[in-house]
Structure 1
Amino acid sequence: MALEDETSQDRLFAAIGILQAHYLAGDTALNAEKIFGQSYCQDSGIEHVIHILIDLLPVVEAADQARKDAA
């Protein structure tokens, strides 16, 4: 896909994916407590941003559609 063909929705999906990968890298299933010898807490800020971006998806989709309709 050429950069000019990339929609806001594509960029939003990419941002969500990057943040999810970062968030999952700290997955407690890795048993970080045993590795580090202490309790481990994931970055709740990253989780919050993921939820905000997901909530914005309908707005971004509508904006992309309006841009297509206007063209």
Structure 2
Amino acid sequence: MSPAGPVAIIAVAVIVLTVLWKTATPLMAVIMAAAALLAGVILLVLMYGTKPRRRREGAGSPGLWRRRRF
């Protein structure tokens, strides 16, 4: 996974925090920024799972990797 996903989530949370800090109460701004971070983490977990996937040696069709002898 590239670092662009987590960086984008943090950027959205910072934007939410700064906009709401000026327009709403500071407590509400912190709560909404935390909610934005939580939503981003949930999206990352749904997209990439919780465990790294390992490539298996025998994955795929074994016939594709055999050499044909004529």
- Whichever structure has more helix as a proportion of its residues is 1
Higher RCO structure, 1 or 2 (CA under 8 Å, sep 6+): 1
Normalising by the smaller structure, the TM-score range is: 0.3 to 0.5
TM-score where L is the length of structure 1:
0.41
Please identify the structure whose Cα radius of gyration is greater: 2
TM-score where L is the length of structure 2:
0.41
